[in-house]
Amino acid sequence: MNNDIVAIKLDKERTLKFRRKELKRLENIFGKKISQINFEDIDIDGITKMIHAGLLHEDESLTLEKAEELIDSSDMSFGELTKAVMDAFSISMGGPRISGEETKN
């Protein structure tokens, strides 16, 4: 598996990855430079939008509404999904996994 993706289990195994395109989308969503995004300030809707953006590398037609449905039907807790999106974001910026553990599926 690639080192720049994080596996999650939704309706099936999927991966989170932030390319330049998705990082630019996050800047627009949060109204901040990518380097100023702080996870302590992000609410549930923000995490959901990050998960959605991180899934777009697999399917650019995925809507936010469909991503919400996938998140709500996942066997992973929202906390586990939050850790996964934090890891994927950190990796995209050249950092380590923030959670300090491999993502479970």
Short-list 13, 31, 6, CA closest to 97: 6
Q: What is the pLDDT of residues 70-98, one digit of tens each?
A: 999 999 999 999 999 999 999 998 888 87
Is residue 97 included in any domain, yes or no?
Answer: no
Is residue 103 included in any domain, yes or no?
Answer: no
Which pLDDT does position 101 carry in this prediction? Answer: 58
Global confidence as pTM? 0.88
Is the pLDDT at 105 greater than 60? The verdict is: no
Q: Which residues constitute the domain of residue 68? A: 6-92
Is residue 55 included in any domain, yes or no?
Answer: yes
Number of structural domains, the chain? 1
Going by pLDDT thresholds of 50, 70 and 90, the confidence category of residue 104 is very low
Query: Is the separation of the CB atoms in 97 and 90 below 8 Å?
Result: yes
